[in-house]
Copies of this chain bind each other. A is one copy, B any other.
Amino acid sequence: MSDPLAELQDRAGEIHSLRAITRLLEWDQLTLMPRAAAHHRADHLALLSRLEHRLLVDPELERLLDAAERAAEALEPESDAAALVRLVRREHTKAVRVPIALREEMVAGAAEAKVIWQEARARSDFDFFLPQLERTFDLRRRYVACFDSTDDAYDVVLDDFEPDLTTCDVTRLFDEVKSELVPLIAELRDRDDGAALSGPFPVEAQMRLSAEIVAVLGYRPGTWRLDPTAHPFSSGAGIDDIRITTHYDERTLGSFFATAHEFGHGLYEHQIPTRFAHLPIGAGWRSGLHESQSRLWENLVCRSLPFWRFFYPRLQEHFPDRFRRLELERFYAAINAVRPSLIRIHADEVTYPMHVVLRFELERSLLDGDAEVRDLPQLWADKMQAYLGVEVPDDARGVLQDIHWAWGLIGYFPTYLLGSVMAVQIWEQAAAEIGDLEEQVERGAFETLREWLGESIHAHGRKLTPQEILERATGSRISTRPYLDYLAAKYRTAVAA
């Protein structure tokens, strides 16, 4: 072994590239793949996953890691090379714990469950999905059993997404959110009827609007793509191949905020330093930190009054008949109306968190065995009533609305709320350091903000953990105080006034 650090880079680079290729295939599948090709795509994605796993569990890699760790002792702990050794060790250690047979069963199970979930949702029939969902949670419990026992079974699945938060941390944070938001929602709900934002908004005009907003925020043609899909997402095959999507629905302006949201995800990946962009450390954390970036652009920028002072005249040009005679303040109140509703992805900034708390509490109980999968619809309905005062009329608009569990994605939901919480901490730090951030937003000047995020968050890639990055950027780890104060101030004072 001539240079274990160089050799580790080569092998880690292959793992990283396989992930990029996987994302490209997933993007293609959701944007423009011919429908009939689904079975090919399932085979190809399974192969890529298998090849990545083979590279990760290769005994040669373990020997190389041992040698690289010895070599890294002479390096700065925060050097790229040392950070790479740490990250690959973490991934190798986790990968070797899970027997290949279980892994393949999970991959195959997810592919099957997705199809059955689609039909169950179309029929709004939870019982049809039940056996599959029981199997999904069973597989996840077997996955959890592969790891050393922790205080909470949920710690294991959470660790895949939040490497430095425990279930106990998340429970405490979410309880803080719940105790303040439930009364706040009751206080603010339904003050605006949303009539100012009812459609139709022709899709062609929305497409032009989405193209304009990403151009304004900082999308670089020749490096990014923006395409329409059934559900918005962000993907891409490298820092110079960023692909975001959005969903157009004539009845709402949701595409605008979805586009801004995905822009935030895309910018995180785009601003990873070129120096290590070909390595596993050269990516954003698939965690609450990623969501903090999308929520920052969607909510802190694009649902703020300074932003609309700048952008409202442009919106009026796109939809003159709808907005010419509507005052900016009325429009601002409408896009920030607090209206408890059934569907998570359509929820406003204040009610959205409760949708996440609900899912976290349910999936944790199911994994622990404190609740039974078959009781989910009732448990769901009870919590929707308690947190949002909403009746769940059917399974399609209740427990079947999200694809995550069908995908076997358990432990991921918390990231959505953790991201909203961290977005406010990051935003306030950016405002303090930049000084005139609000004035810049009001001028439509986003370069300083992009640069600040690049240097403070994106530049670390996965060299530090998410909480380390947050602490380095803002001086503290995750805290709900700024977030809850922001919500109360914005919605009690500004919007409701």
Interface residues of A (CB under 8 A from B): 14, 17-18, 20-21, 24-25, 28, 32-37, 39-41, 43-44, 47-48, 51, 220-225, 237-242, 278
22 A-B pairs with C-beta separation under 8 A: A17-B47, A20-B44, A21-B25, A21-B48, A24-B25, A24-B44, A28-B28, A33-B241, A34-B221, A34-B224, A34-B240, A34-B241, A34-B242, A36-B220, A36-B223, A36-B241, A37-B237, A37-B238, A40-B238, A40-B241, A41-B237, A51-B51
Residue of B nearest to A55 (CB): B51
- Check B225–A36 contact: CB distance below 8 A: no
Q: Report, nearest first, the 7 A-B pairs whose CB atoms are least far apart.
A: A37-B241, A40-B238, A36-B240, A36-B223, A35-B222, A17-B47, A37-B240
- Check B14–A47 contact: CB distance below 8 A: yes
Q: How far is the CB of A137 from chain B (nearest CB, A)?
A: 30
- Check B35–A28 contact: CB distance below 8 A: no
Chain B residues near A47 (CB-CB < 8 A): 14, 17-18, 21
Identify which of B21, B32, B35, B223 contacts A21 (C-beta below 8 A).
Answer: B21
The interface centre, meaning the residue of A14, A41, A225, A278 with most chain B CB atoms within 10 A of its CB, is A41
- Check A43–B17 contact: CB distance below 8 A: yes
Chain B residues near A37 (CB-CB < 8 A): 223, 237-238, 240-241
Contact A240/B39 with A14-B47, A21-B48, A44-B20 known, Cβ cut-off 8 Å: yes
Q: Give the complex CA separation of A32 and B35 in angstroms.
A: 19
- Check A24–B28 contact: CB distance below 8 A: yes
Chain B residues near A223 (CB-CB < 8 A): 34-37
- Check A34–B222 contact: CB distance below 8 A: yes
Given contacts A21-B21, A24-B44, A34-B223, 6 further A-B contacts (CB under 8 A): A17-B43, A24-B24, A32-B225, A34-B222, A34-B240, A34-B242
Chain B residues near A238 (CB-CB < 8 A): 37, 40
Q: How far is the CB of A33 from chain B (nearest CB, A)?
A: 7
Q: Give the complex CA separation of A278 and B239 in angstroms.
A: 33
Chain B residues near A44 (CB-CB < 8 A): 17, 20-21, 24, 237
Q: How far is the CB of A47 from chain B (nearest CB, A)?
A: 5
Chain B residues near A222 (CB-CB < 8 A): 34-36
Chain B residues near A239 (CB-CB < 8 A): 40
Q: How far is the CB of A201 from chain B (nearest CB, A)?
A: 26
Contact A225/B21 with A40-B238, A238-B40 known, Cβ cut-off 8 Å: no
- Check B40–A20 contact: CB distance below 8 A: yes
Residue of B nearest to A239 (CB): B40
Chain B residues near A39 (CB-CB < 8 A): 240
Chain B residues near A35 (CB-CB < 8 A): 222-223
Q: Give the complex CA separation of A36 and B236 in angstroms.
A: 12
Residue of B nearest to A221 (CB): B34
Chain B residues near A240 (CB-CB < 8 A): 34, 36-37, 39-40
Residue of B nearest to A35 (CB): B222
Q: How far is the CB of A305 from chain B (nearest CB, A)?
A: 34
Q: Give the complex CA separation of A24 and B43 in angstroms.
A: 14
Q: How far is the CB of A389 from chain B (nearest CB, A)?
A: 44
Chain B residues near A24 (CB-CB < 8 A): 24-25, 28, 44
Q: How far is the CB of A57 from chain B (nearest CB, A)?
A: 16
Residue of B nearest to A220 (CB): B36
Q: How far is the CB of A333 from chain B (nearest CB, A)?
A: 38
Q: How far is the CB of A42 from chain B (nearest CB, A)?
A: 11
Q: How far is the CB of A78 from chain B (nearest CB, A)?
A: 26
Q: How far is the CB of A181 from chain B (nearest CB, A)?
A: 40
Chain B residues near A36 (CB-CB < 8 A): 220, 222-223, 240-241
Chain B residues near A34 (CB-CB < 8 A): 221-225, 240-242
Q: Give the complex CA separation of A233 and B400 in angstroms.
A: 42
